[in-house]
Structure 1
Amino acid sequence: MPAGTLPIRMLHDRLLVSVEGEAGERRSGGGIVIPATASVGRRLSWGTVVAAGPNARQIELGDRVLFDPEERAEVELQGKDYILLRERDLHAIAAPRVQDGHTGLYL
């Protein structure tokens, strides 16, 4: 859903993120099915930014971001679940504009 159609305006450095995939089972690179109950440490999640507040400095709409799923707040808008984060809660940005040697880390 395009950000312009969401009934929300983000404030400060807040981000609205659409989560990729589900928290269920997943496959390893070799094709092995890993059940949702298998847990080996903390696993970070990827999502796509669909709305950003005016004080978000390094994030643009459509960026893929890496975050800790335990440090989040969830919200439902128009029947779809989203994650609410602060820009400082992100671990990395994956976007075509990120130059070599610039990881997009927000420190």
Structure 2
Amino acid sequence: MTAASQPDSGLPIRLLLDRVLVRLETGDGERLSAAGIVIPATASVAHRLAWATAVAVGPNVRSIVTGDRVLFDPDDRSEVELHGRDYILLRERDIHAVAATRIEENGTGLYL
């Protein structure tokens, strides 16, 4: 197995403070609407947030664990390449939402 085909475990990086390393779930290609309409990559109607999977978190991150799906603004990102794969480095405060099965229904979701 080559380094590029291995899972994200064992990345040669230790994140500091409130940093979150994520991997984008989908490319910048075409997407499908809920009604089944193909939307080309060149179509841009409004500012769109992106979903990614957290692959590593820093020691001061409070609301995100490895494996969570997170919603963030793709314009506010720093890209990094590790083992031939592209990742995005974010601060926890730049993440708008977390989608995970461990999230409580009664929780406020407030970042205090």
Question: Which bracket does the TM-score occupy, shorter chain normalised?
Answer: over 0.9
Partners in 1 of 2:31 and 2:59 — Cα distance?
35
TM-score calculated relative to the size of structure 2: 0.89
Residue 90 of structure 2: aligned partner = 85
Of residues 34, 37, 42, the one that matches 1:37 is 42
Who wins on radius of gyration, i.e. which is larger? Answer: 2
SS in 1 for 2:27: coil
Matches within 5 A, 1:12-91: 12-91=17-96
Measure how far apart 1:29 and its partner are: 0.9
- Does the 8 Å CA contact 1:91/1:105 hold for their aligned counterparts? no
| Alignment RMSD (CA, Å) | 1.3
CA separation of 1:104 and 1:30: change in aligned 2, threshold 3 A: same
Aligned-residue offset at 1:101: 3.4
The two structures have a TM-score, normalised by structure 1, of 0.92
Provide structure 1 residue ranges, at least 5 long, that are not aligned to the other structure: none
Q: Give runs of ≥4 in structure 1 deviating > 2 Å.
A: 101-107
| Number of equivalences | 106
